[in-house]
Chain A
Amino acid sequence: MDKKYGVYICSGCGIGDAMDIDTLVEAAEENNIQACKTSPFLCGKEGVEMIKKDIEEEGINTIIIAACSGRVNYDVFDFGNDKIVERVNIREQVAWVHEPDGPDAVDEEEDHTGRHAQDLIHMAYAKVKSMELPEPYKIEDPSKTILVVGGGLTGITAALESANAGYKTVLVEKEDKLGGWLNKVYKMTPLRAPYTDLEDPKVEEKVKELEDNPNVTVYTSAKIKKIAGGPGMFDATIEASGSEVTERVGAIVLAAGSIPVKDEYLTHLGYGKYKNVVTHAEVEEMAKNGKIVRPSDGQEAKKIAFIQCAGSRDPERLPYCSAACCVESLKQAIYVNELNSEAMTYIFYKDIRAAGTYEHFYKKVQETGAVFIKGEITGIKEADDGTLTVESEDVLLGGKASVEGVDLVVLATGMTPRTAFGQEVELEISDDEAAAAAEEEKAPADNIIASDILNLDYRQGPELPTLKYGFPDSHFICFPYETRRTGIYAAGSVRAPMDMAKAVTDATGAALKAIQCVESTARGAAVHPRSGDLSYPEFNLNRCTQCKRCTEECPFGAINEDEKTNPLPNPTRCRRCGTCMGACPERIISFKNYSVPMIGNMIKAIEMPEEDEEKPRILVFACENDAIPALDMAGINRLKYNPWVRVIPVRCLGSLNLVWIADAMSEGYDGVLLMGCKHGEDYQCHFIKGSELAEIRLSKVSETLDRLGLESERVKAIEVNIMDYKKIPQILDEFAEELEELGPNPMKDF
Chain B
Amino acid sequence: MGNKSVLVVGGGMSGISAAVEAAEAGCEVYLVEKNSYLGGRVAQINQYFPKMCPPNCGLEINFQRIKKNPNIHFFTLAEVEKISGQEGNFDVTIKLKPRYVNENCTGCGKCTEVCPAERDDEFNCGIGKTKAIYLAHPFAFPMKYVIDAAACQGDSCGKCVEACEYKAIDLNMEPQTVNINVGAIIWATGWKPYDITKLSNYGGGRFKNVITNLSLERMAALTGPTEGKILRPSDGKEPQNIAFVQCAGSRDENHLKTCSSVCCMATLKQVNYVREQYPDANITIYFMDIRAMGKHEDYYQKVLEEQNVKLIKGKPSEIKENPENNNLLVLAENQFTQEVETLEYDLVVLATGMEPATASDKVPAELNYDVDGFVIDGPPTPGIYAAGCTRKPGDVATSVQDATAAVLKAIQSTVRR
Contacts and interface: CB of A to CB of B under 8 A. Distances in A.
Contacts of A43: 104, 106
Interface string B272-306: 00000000000000000111111111100100000
A496 B294 contact: yes
A529 B289 contact: no
Chain A contact-residue range equals: 35 or more
Given A165-B415, A509-B402, A722 B56 contact: yes
B289 A353 contact: yes
Given A164-B412, A477-B48, A682-B52, A192 B259 contact: no
Given A13-B106, A509-B405, A313 B297 contact: yes
A358 B292 CA distance: 15
B150 interface: no
Interface stretch (B21-29, B203-211, B318-326): B21-29
A660 interface: no
Chain A interface, DSSP helix/strand/loop, else mixed: loop
A577 to B, nearest CB: 13
B259 A509 contact: no
Interface string B379-406: 0000000000000111011101111110
B407 A75 contact: no
B405 A506 contact: yes
Given A12-B166, A512-B407, A726-B222, 15 more contacts: A41-B166, A43-B104, A161-B412, A165-B415, A313-B297, A321-B297, A353-B291, A359-B257, A395-B336, A508-B408, A512-B21, A629-B56, A629-B60, A682-B53, A721-B57
Given A321-B292, A468-B295, A722-B57, A41 B374 contact: no
B241 to A, nearest CB: 24
Interface string A705-738: 0000000000000000111011000000000000
A250 B106 CA distance: 43
Interface in A436-495: 468-469, 471, 476-481
B24 A520 contact: yes
17 contacts: A40-B165, A72-B106, A192-B376, A320-B295, A356-B258, A357-B258, A357-B374, A477-B53, A477-B397, A478-B58, A478-B61, A502-B401, A512-B21, A516-B21, A531-B24, A684-B53, A721-B57
A41 B143 CA distance: 16
Contacts of B25: 512, 515-516, 519
A154 B56 CA distance: 32
A506 B408 contact: no
B337 interface: yes
Contacts of A321: 292-294, 296-297
Contacts of B237: none
A715 B58 CA distance: 29
Contact of B393 (A165, A357, A513): A357
Contacts of A192: 376-377
A507 B408 CA distance: 10
**8 closest cross-chain pairs (CB), A and B:** A478-B58, A509-B404, A508-B405, A351-B289, A356-B261, A512-B408, A355-B261, A509-B405
A13 B108 contact: yes
Interface stretch (B65-73, B120-128, B151-159, B194-202): B65-73
A515 B24 CA distance: 10
B335 interface: yes
B100 interface: no
Contacts of B143: 72, 636
Given A320-B297, A498-B294, A513-B404, A637 B370 contact: no
B54 A723 contact: yes
Interface size class on chain B is 35 or more
Interface of A: 12-14, 40-41, 43-44, 68, 71-72, 74-76, 161-162, 164-166, 192-195, 313, 315, 319-323, 351-360, 374, 395-398, 468-469, 471, 476-481, 496-498, 502, 505-513, 515-516, 519-520, 527-529, 531-532, 625-626, 629, 633, 636-637, 678, 682, 684, 686, 721-723, 725-726
A498 B398 CA distance: 11
A396 B409 CA distance: 45
A723 B397 contact: no
Contact of A532 (B58, B69, B294, B405): B69
A635 to B, nearest CB: 11
A162 B411 CA distance: 10
B181 interface: no
B260 interface: yes
Nearest to B403: A509
A398 B138 contact: no
A194 B369 CA distance: 10
A358 B392 CA distance: 10
A150 to B, nearest CB: 17
B70 to A, nearest CB: 8
Nearest to A523: B26
Interface in B41-78: 48, 50-54, 56-58, 60-62, 64-65, 67-69
Given A477-B58, A512-B408, A357 B68 contact: no
Contact of A721 (B53, B291, B335, B338): B53
B165 A12 contact: yes
Contact of A626 (B24, B60, B108, B371): B60
A397 B293 contact: no
B107 interface: yes
Interface in B67-108: 67-69, 103-104, 106-108
A515 B392 contact: no
Contacts of A629: 56, 60
Contact of A398 (B67, B338, B415, B416): B338
B24 A516 contact: yes
Highest count of chain A CB atoms <10 Å: which of B295, B296, B338: B295
A75 B142 CA distance: 11
B21 A351 contact: no
Contact of A353 (B293, B338, B404): B293
Given A512-B404, A626-B60, A721 B294 contact: no
Given A477-B397, A478-B400, A194 B370 contact: yes
A396 B52 CA distance: 33
Greatest chain B CB density within 10 A among A75, A508, A512, A516 is at A512
Contacts of A358: 259
Contacts of A496: 294-295
B34 interface: no
Contacts of B20: 531
A32 to B, nearest CB: 30
A696 B257 CA distance: 52
Contact of B400 (A12, A14, A480, A636): A480
A323 B52 CA distance: 22
Nearest to A72: B143
B394 A72 contact: no
A508 B296 CA distance: 24
A14 B398 CA distance: 43
Contact of A477 (B21, B24, B51, B257): B51
B397 A480 contact: yes
Contact of A471 (B69, B295, B376, B401): B295
B296 A193 contact: no
Contacts of B400: 478-480
Given A512-B404, A633-B139, A360 B374 contact: no
B337 A398 contact: yes
A356 B294 contact: no
A293 to B, nearest CB: 31
Interface in B228-277: 251, 257-261
Interface centre among B25, B291, B293, B402, by most chain A C-beta atoms within 10 angstroms, is B293
A319 B404 contact: no
B315 interface: no
B313 interface: yes
Contacts of B374: 193, 357
Given A193-B370, A193-B374, A512-B408, A14 B108 contact: yes
A675 to B, nearest CB: 14
B108 A532 contact: no
